[in-house]
Amino acid sequence: DGGITQSPKYLFRKEGQNVTLSCEQNLNHDAMYWYRQDPGQGLRLIYYSQIVNDFQKGDIAEGYSVSREKKESFPLTVTSAQKNPTAFYLCASSPRTGSEQYFGPGTRLTVT
Amino acid sequence: AQSVSQHNHHVILSEAASLELGCNYSYGGTVNLFWYVQYPGQHLQLLLKYFSGDPLVKGIKGFEAEFIKSKFSFNLRKPSVQWSDTAEYFCAVNRGYNQGGKLIFGQGTELSVKP
């Protein structure tokens, strides 16, 4: 069954801790993306990767980091430098850059 | 700055009413256009897309959208809504490969359909 999985669904962390969100896809897609969704603001791009071992900053990359060591995996680390980390995080992939994107179920991160 | 604007934040309709959600974007060149839907508790799903060709695009569940290049618009329509259409709708634009396929999203429109 092809798709994008994100784990965990809910994540709680204390302020000052780094946390890594998982994103895996078995669609054989080249491009992968991380977005952040906040109420009333739509989705904003954090990082994207068009190919393995390469990634670029999106519009709100500060306080986040990513890696793309395997085609199917694109983990996102929310560092302690991110000033407002509590949000809903969505991972997406697309078969090629510029085509439609398919989204995972999301991870809701709460930092207190 | 590049942006996508959705005109309505919250729309309330009765079943069988017609729907039109507005979307405008601010890019001057070639764009790819999308509408996504997020049903309560579910994934963001692609409703329809426009890359080129016929500017009237048909999507899933009876939705359609019309690309009007001169107006920089891509409005979503449905002739008769159902209670099950209650969801949040997002318009999105990307500028293809040279921009990394980045999607720029509108703020979203929450649609509530009364039975």
Percent of chain A whose pLDDT exceeds 90? 83
Q: Note whether A6 contacts B: Cβ–Cβ < 8 A.
A: no
Q: Note whether A41 contacts B: Cβ–Cβ < 8 A.
A: yes
A93 sits in which H/E element:
strand A87-94
pLDDT digits (tens, 9 = 90+) for B21-42: 999 998 777 889 999 999 998 8
Candidates A52, A46, A43; CA nearest to A70 is: A52
CB–CB contact A100 B46 (8 Å)? yes
Could you give the 3-state DSSP secondary structure of residue A41?
Answer: coil
- Smallest Cβ–Cβ distance between B103 and the set A96, A101, A105 belongs to A101
* CA–CA gap between residue A49 and residue A91 (Å, rounded): 11
Q: Note whether A103 contacts B: Cβ–Cβ < 8 A.
A: yes
Answer whether residue B95 shows pLDDT above 80: no
Percent of chain A whose pLDDT exceeds 70? 98
Please list, residue by residue across B20-47, b when 16 or more beta carbons sit within 10 angstroms of its beta carbon and e when fewer do. ebebbbeeeeebbbbbbbbeeeebbebb
> Nearest residue of B to residue A9 by CA position?
B41
Which B-chain residues 7-36 have CB contacts (< 8 A) with chain A?
9, 32, 34, 36
Answer whether residue A64 shows pLDDT above 60: yes
Q: Residue B97: what pLDDT?
A: 59
